[in-house]
Amino acid sequence: MVRRMESAARELEGFTYRAEPSSAGDSRTLLLLHGTGGDENDLIPLGHTLAPTAALLSPRGRVLEQGAPRFFRRLAEGVFDLDDLRRRTGELATFVANAAIEHELDPSRIIAVGFSNGANIAASVLLSHPSVLRGAVLFRAMVPFEPAEVARTNARVLLSEGRSDPLVSRATAERLAEILRDAGASVTLEWQPAGHQLTQGDVESGRRWLDREAI
């Protein structure tokens, strides 16, 4: 089993984050993006499970909603503050670029792993800053915005959605897949027998996809 030292929280570009190095010559980095109420620690175990030898980069969202960290503001459930989303997406893209320099990460092999709010901002990065991400594993993602102009990407994306998710409808998930494909992404859409929560089936699906795609 691969063992790695757990890092202390750091600060960069206004983000509190954790970073862990790769091992066994793996040049991939998983950008771990938590859901509402999470922090930089939440998805570290998931990152270890999905890609045990990849580097990990795990920032905490900078927006607070009643004390709960998020990556961007919303006006109501499923209704996003698009101006704030645009700004926060740019801030995250800048953070990733500078963290790659700081930690000597390969900027061409950064793969987002996001859950819920984290998945939504990862989708926003794919659509508005396509050079930042090589791929993405998105759990319970929604459409972040409808792009007026589609920025081209060659990213590979896994969308893992819940059949009984009360927050993300089937139509919403399929629309996100369509938008990403229109942008040039290779998209796999998988359905889990679950609601909005992350399940073991999601984890197994994500790990299989990463192994298969060999991004």
Domains detected in the chain: 10-213 (3.40.50.1820)
User: What is the structure's pLDDT at 180?
Assistant: 97
pLDDT tier, 3 (very low <50, low <70, confident <90, very high otherwise): very low
Catalytic status, residue 165:
yes
Q: Are 30 and 54 in contact (CB under 8 A)?
A: yes
Judged against a pLDDT cut of 90, whether residue 8 lies above it is answered with: no
In whole angstroms, what is the distance from residue 154 CA to residue 25 CA? 24
Q: Which residue has the tokens 């600060």?
A: 11
Across the range 82-100, mean pLDDT stands at 98
Taking CA atoms, 50 is separated from 55, 144, 192, in Å, by 11, 24, 17
Q: Which residue has the tokens 């740019």?
A: 90
pLDDT tier, 90 (very low <50, low <70, confident <90, very high otherwise): very high
For the chain, percent of residues with pLDDT exceeding 90:
91
Q: Are 120 and 144 in contact (CB under 8 A)?
A: yes
Catalytic status, residue 48:
no
Query: pTM value?
Result: 0.95
Q: In what helix (H) or strand (E) does residue 41 lie, and over which residues does it extend?
A: none
Number of other CB atoms surrounding residue 8 within 10 Å: 7
Classify residue 101 by burial, with Cβ atoms within 10 Å: 0-12, 13-18, 19+. Answer: exposed
pLDDT tier, 151 (very low <50, low <70, confident <90, very high otherwise): confident
Classify residue 16 by burial, with Cβ atoms within 10 Å: 0-12, 13-18, 19+. Answer: middle
pLDDT tier, 202 (very low <50, low <70, confident <90, very high otherwise): very high
Exactly one of 129, 165, 202, 205 is catalytic; name it.
165
Q: Are 130 and 160 in contact (CB under 8 A)?
A: no
Exactly one of 22, 116, 124, 128 is catalytic; name it.
116
In whole angstroms, what is the distance from residue 181 CA to residue 210 CA? 19
CA proximity to 135, closest of 187, 174, 64: 187
